């Protein structure tokens, strides 16, 4: 168990302010809710005595913080291989393969990214969700950042809430797009299926914005680049289905198998055999939560998505122009 110790003096400018409010500004490495909990537990003292979170300050008081980071995650570590792209004392960036669940849930209590992370670094058990600050769907591949310390966790959660983390995806969609665009449509839980999300009105959904750009057009499909302005559950999948260009292979939001006229046996096999959403988180960029240096990472698309794109390219190159759709 890790013990945190800090000493500080309340600035005179904090006179008249509440203890919990001033403490959040004095120790920005920790969330306000966590600091309030420590105040209530007596782990933070004011001039040597405990105080209430709402106590008003005069300025100049001595603050002592001594708290233990307790276990936040009770989960069995598992020796699951991780493709770690970058790691230092504060953050870890990994390339998640398709098929790996990020966080345990109903029916997925083991074999997850979190189980693997706890085996890689047992200290992550002391962080909320084991340091995981954002997720990828089980069948989406690509880059994720994980916090390794509490200050890094607080900063990354704040950056994500301010949309200061750049996340870029590559997707293969059904239909031929002629240009890029933006989908600005609120997302909320589907009315009839709790496993799905859906575009809802502003009262029932949360603001969601996805930007997309055409990279390559095939006979009946398109290769696109997507970037998130917000980060809702299933956002890219829902938004692309909403504009009638669902992801190839998407079991929840896809529009079914679409074969171009006169498709080659190779393309038929590639499309029928691709049984996950064709979505890959290819680029991740953010300011380091502690050093504040700009960080940027990119990874190649996985082999199955590359094979799908190769088959679409070959079909397009060999097809009669009259068979384009």
Residue bearing tokens 């200061």: 164
Residue bearing tokens 């917000």: 230
Q: Is 193 marked active-site? A: no
Beta bridge partners of 245: none
Q: How far apart are CA 282 and CA 134, in angstroms?
A: 15
Q: In this structure, what are the phi and psi dihedrals at residue 166, rounded to the nearest 5 degrees?
A: -85, 125
* Helix (H), strand (E) at residue 315: helix 303-318
Task: Give the number of other CB atoms < 10 A from CB of residue 208.
Answer: 26
Asked if 252 and 297 count as a contact pair (C-beta separation under 8 A), the reply is no
Quote the tokens at residue 253: 């939001």
Q: How far apart are CA 199 and CA 186, in angstroms?
A: 6
Catalytic residue among 137, 250, 304, 315: 137
Please, which residues have CB within 8 angstroms of residue 290's CB and are 6 or more apart in sequence?
90, 149, 151, 152, 155
Q: Which residues are catalytic?
A: 137
């Amino acid at each position: 168990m890790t013990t945190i110790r800090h000493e500080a003096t309340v600035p005179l400018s904090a006179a008249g302010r509440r203890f919990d409010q001033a403490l959040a500004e004095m120790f920005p490495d920790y969330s306000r809710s966590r600091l309030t909990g420590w105040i209530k537990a007596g782990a933070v003292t004011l001039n040597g005595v405990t105080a209430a979170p709402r106590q008003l300050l005069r300025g100049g008081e001595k603050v002592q913080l001594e708290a233990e980071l307790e276990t936040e995650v009770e989960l069995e570590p598992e020796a699951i291989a991780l493709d770690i792209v970058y790691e230092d004392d504060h953050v870890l960036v990994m390339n998640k393969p398709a098929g790996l669940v990020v966080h345990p849930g109903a029916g997925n209590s083991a074999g997850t990214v979190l189980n693997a992370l706890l085996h890689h670094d047992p200290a992550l058990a002391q962080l909320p969700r084991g340091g995981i600050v954002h997720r990828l769907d089980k069948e989406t591949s690509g880059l994720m950042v994980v916090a390794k310390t509490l200050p890094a966790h607080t900063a990354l959660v704040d950056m994500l809430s301010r949309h200061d983390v750049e996340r870029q995806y590559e997707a293969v969609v059904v239909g031929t797009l002629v240009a890029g665009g933006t989908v600005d449509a609120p997302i909320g839980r589907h009315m009839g299926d709790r496993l799905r999300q859906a575009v809802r009105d502003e009262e029932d959904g949360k603001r969601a914005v996805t930007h997309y750009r055409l990279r390559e057009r095939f006979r009946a499909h398109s290769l696109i680049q997507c970037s998130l302005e917000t980060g809702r559950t299933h956002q890219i999948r829902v938004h692309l289905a909403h504009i009638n260009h669902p992801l190839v292979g998407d079991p929840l939001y896809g529009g079914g198998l679409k074969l171009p006229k006169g498709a080659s046996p190779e393309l038929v096999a590639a499309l029928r055999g691709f049984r996950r959403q064709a979505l890959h988180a290819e680029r991740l960029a953010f300011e380091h939560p502690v050093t504040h240096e700009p960080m940027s990472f990119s990874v190649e698309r996985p082999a199955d998505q590359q094979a799908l794109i190769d088959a679409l390219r070959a079909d397009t190159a060999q097809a009669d122009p009259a068979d384009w759709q």
